[in-house]
Chains A and B, each alone.
Chain A
Amino acid sequence: MMGKLWVCMLVLSFFCAILFGKTSELSSSVLGGAEASVELCISISGLILLWSGVMEIMKKSGLMDKIAKIITPVIGFLFPKAKKDKQIMADISANVSANLLGLGNAATPPGIRAAEGLHRLSGKNSASDDMCMLVVINTASLQLIPTTIGAIRASCGASVPFDIIPAIWVASIISLVAGVFSAKLMARFYRR
């Protein structure tokens, strides 16, 4: 999948450059792109390391478990069938709170465990409503502090790198509500 996308990008730009007569720009862009990627990685590394460290304190001190407990009632509303299964609910809460904190890597293992639990609950070979909801929630990515974006804006010289946080929250909530709403709506029309 990624390989195909990448090759498409390369081939498209190669032929466009010939077509539009931009061959010299193309050759310098190869060098510029490779150089810029390393520069970008270095310039965001400080904030990413700092945040990963703070998140680990959050995990080890039990603060993350507390956040998971707070959001459990909200999750029960979204997953009516799995509400009674404590293990599934715990996994979903862990998944959602890790996503909220921007820990993509920490979110996936409990997420997959929750999906397996939901699969066991439905016992079918097609995705259950709860499972579709889990995927929709995971793709909407509501994140409290978007560190990577902040780091990128800082490296580009933004005056207040994190001033877009409220805007990101609003956009994420719009995206999440649209996803949840369309999932609940489509659940009525799709055959199980």
Chain B
Amino acid sequence: MDISVFSKLIVPAIIVFVCIYGLVKKCDVWNAFLDGAVSGVKILYKILPSLVALLTAVYMLRASGALDLLSHLLSPVTGFLGIPAECLSLGILRPFSGSAALALGTDVIKEFGPDSEIGRIAAVMLGSAETTFYTIAVYFGALKLNKTRYAIPAALIADLAGYVGSVIAVKLFF
């Protein structure tokens, strides 16, 4: 199947399929949807404050030239891995803060255009990594474990591989 047809149809197809499945299973599709949408409002309510704080900081970093400085300092490393310099600060921020990475990523996507190569790499990097340190803090914090052993290095290796993979995947598909 043509990949663009697939990408265009996957979201509506899932929505239609889930709704039909729900009807067949005699689930109250309408009220389930409304309940779920309310939880979506809660998500937005929760992310807006941190987004305001972090997007302001990201705009300040960019306007002050600090981001250019950082990208310039790290360009040898990224050049070696094939990661565009513009996406590098995104990769550094991603394991620490999801909303900061989201803010910075949106900025990159807006500046270079969502259909540009850099814009796509930024989007794929955002989509293929997690807030590693947050996740580790939640899981080990809940258990009060003091020895994390190799959980952090293994998770960071996964993140780094994901970044390099993002570049490869974008070059492969577009």
Contact = CB atoms under 8 A, between A and B. Distances in A.
A85 B29 CA distance: 34
List of 7 A-B pairs having minimum Cβ-Cβ separation, nearest first: A56-B36, A179-B158, A175-B162, A52-B40, A33-B59, A174-B165, A178-B161
A37 B127 contact: no
Contact of A116 (B15, B21, B142): B142
Interface residues of B, number: 107
Determine chain B's interface SS by DSSP, over half rule. helix
A190 B174 CA distance: 41
A10 interface: yes
Interface of A: 1-2, 5-6, 9-10, 12-14, 16-17, 19-20, 22, 25-26, 28-30, 32-34, 36-38, 40-41, 44-45, 48-63, 105, 108, 111-112, 115-116, 119, 125-127, 131-132, 134-136, 138-141, 143, 145-146, 148-150, 152-153, 156-168, 170-179, 182-183, 186-187, 189-190, 192
Given A30-B56, A60-B27, A126 B147 contact: yes
A63 B21 contact: yes
Nearest to A23: B64
Contacts of A148: 102, 126
A127 B147 contact: yes
Contacts of A164: 7, 120, 123-124, 127, 170, 173
A145 B11 contact: yes
B77 interface: no
B84 interface: no
A147 to B, nearest CB: 8
B69 to A, nearest CB: 6
Given A111-B139, A139-B159, A153-B123, A62 B106 contact: no
B79 interface: no
Given A12-B66, A41-B48, 16 more contacts: A13-B66, A32-B59, A36-B59, A37-B56, A49-B37, A49-B40, A53-B32, A53-B35, A108-B138, A156-B106, A159-B115, A171-B124, A171-B128, A178-B162, A183-B151, A186-B153
A143 B32 contact: no
27 contacts: A6-B57, A9-B100, A12-B66, A13-B60, A17-B66, A37-B103, A52-B43, A57-B29, A57-B36, A61-B18, A63-B18, A63-B21, A63-B22, A127-B145, A135-B136, A136-B155, A158-B115, A162-B7, A166-B6, A168-B123, A170-B169, A170-B172, A174-B165, A175-B159, A186-B150, A186-B153, A189-B150
